[in-house]
Chain A
């Protein structure tokens, strides 16, 4: 069984984005971790971020909101898993209601195949005065049997694809 029949080609099982920002690392870090800054850029173009709270410590929660030009709000919440200032930020990511309760993606009219919990890992590196930022976004399998693991389902997919060969 070819991998392409499983979950797309290699690398499609997770979101991996690398960006070079023309700004010092400290500033990029601040943009991610200081709600005052975060609220000024979070969300796609034309969206606003009317609310953001962060308890920036390992195990601490965040809650934020994006508002579309039509006024539809999308709330997101999660827990910080790793914080190494200016180097590495790891947090879980789920859709939420405005009280911060986790909700399924279907709450916002998205497909039922969105994982309930996702994991975002961001790393920051200096590169000739600029900042190289790498963002990895993976889905985590639901259920208590996988709790506490940082392993995403992309790895399970690889194993599965292997077993289907």
Chain B
């Protein structure tokens, strides 16, 4: 199944996990302690966050710590800028087209 960053943040539990990891790195158990949901459920959410590239798990001694990659969230803003530019270019053309169309209609009317 395809994962994207938008899916990562669509779930309230995952948003809460991101919020938690924003200030500290934690083990899966450490994350689970903060939530009323079961540890396997927390594991599943962390797996999804990993697949979306938002969380990396690093081994430190005998523990495995979850770390947040906030830079990935910032990347999302990039498509917004690109889309905005494209829409403005299209709408410039729509504007020109509407003007041309009305000029033609006027000419026809005068004949």
Contacts and interface: CB of A to CB of B under 8 A. Distances in A.
Contacts of B94: 21, 28, 31, 41
B98 A21 contact: yes
B109 to A, nearest CB: 14
A164 B86 contact: no
Interface residues of A, number: 51
Given A1-B22, A41-B97, A135 B91 contact: yes
Interface in B56-81: 70, 72-81
A15 B80 contact: yes
B110 interface: no
A19 B86 contact: no
Given A7-B74, A156-B15, A111 B79 contact: yes
B4 A142 contact: yes
Determine the main DSSP class of B at the interface with A. helix
B102 interface: yes
B87 A15 contact: yes
Contacts of B40: none
Contact of B7 (A111, A114, A142): A142
Interface residues of B, number: 47
A27 B18 contact: no
Given A115-B79, A163-B16, A41 B96 contact: yes
A44 B79 CA distance: 17
A137 B93 CA distance: 18
A139 B6 contact: yes
Given A43-B93, A142-B3, A143-B1, A160 B9 contact: yes
Contact of B102 (A1, A8, A23): A23
Question: 6 closest Cβ contacts across the A-B interface?
Answer: A44-B89, A141-B6, A163-B19, A41-B97, A141-B10, A8-B77
Interface of B: 1-7, 9-12, 15-16, 18-19, 22-23, 70, 72-84, 86-99, 101-102
Interface of A: 1, 5-8, 12-15, 17, 19, 21-23, 27-28, 31, 37, 40-45, 104-105, 110-116, 118, 133, 135, 137, 139-143, 145-146, 153, 156-157, 159-160, 163-164
